Amino acid sequence: MTNKAIYPGTFDPITRGHSDLVKRATRLFDRVIVALAAKPGKQPVFTLEERLELARTALAEYDNVEICSFDGLLVEFARIKQARVILRGLRAVSDFDYEFQLAGMNRKLAPDVETLFLTPAEQYSNISSSLVREIAALGGDVTPFVHEKIRDELTRKLR
């Protein structure tokens, strides 16, 4: 059985922090499935197709990374993909409450699926997609936070 992990999220858009986490995961797992929520709780700025395309751009260098979208329950998608690990990033203590709740609920729904947490490199611990969008919309330079092509897409979309 292949050692697979699913890394779910909205990725609106994918940041260097997310990519850093994927890089770490590719060293631990045979296959990493980056799963974009088709209908997340929040209203994304980028369409699903755009978010997928941006993720493909940012993660092009990894040949053991699959990028796809899912609709419905994450644990069901993990079952379909035969992944026993859900991967999430912990940037700071403030992430913990929400992540602990999410992991607990997912465990109740699917006791055989484990949630694993990785921390991004220190320089990415303050990044969030919504702050990146806000900075880009106000004319700030987001090059340190996102891939150059994503920076250009943000400028095109938000300014």
Range 48-60 burial, b when 16+ CB lie within 10 A, else e: beebbbbbebbbe
Helix, strand, coil percentages (3-state) for the chain, rounded to 5, are 45, 20, 35
Piece of 24-32, 45-53, 57-65, 128-136 that binds ligand COA (CB under 6 A): 128-136
Task: Examine the residue annotation and report whether 42 is marked as an active-site residue of this protein.
Answer: yes
Let me know: does 142 contact 135? Beta carbons within 8 Å. Answer: yes
Q: Which two tokens stand for residue 143?
A: 């090059």
List 28, 60, 105, 121, residue binding ligand COA (CB under 6 A)? 105
- Report the site for ligand COA in 64-103 (rule: CB under 6 A): 73-74, 89, 91, 102
Give yes or no: 91 in active site: yes
Q: CA 24, CA 6: separation in Å to the nearest integer?
A: 13
- Residue 85 or residue 127: which is nearer to ligand COA going by CB? 127
Q: Which residue among 52, 78, 85, 127 contacts ligand COA (CB under 6 A)?
A: 127
- Ranked by CB distance to ligand COA, the top (closest) residue is 17
147 catalytic residue (yes or no) = no
Q: Could you say which residues in the range 38-67 bind ligand COA, by CB under 6 A?
A: 40-41
Catalytic residue among 19, 51, 88, 129: 129
Examine residue 17 and tell whether it contacts ligand COA (CB under 6 A): yes
User: What span, in angstroms and rounded, lies between the C-alpha atoms of 63 and 84?
Assistant: 20
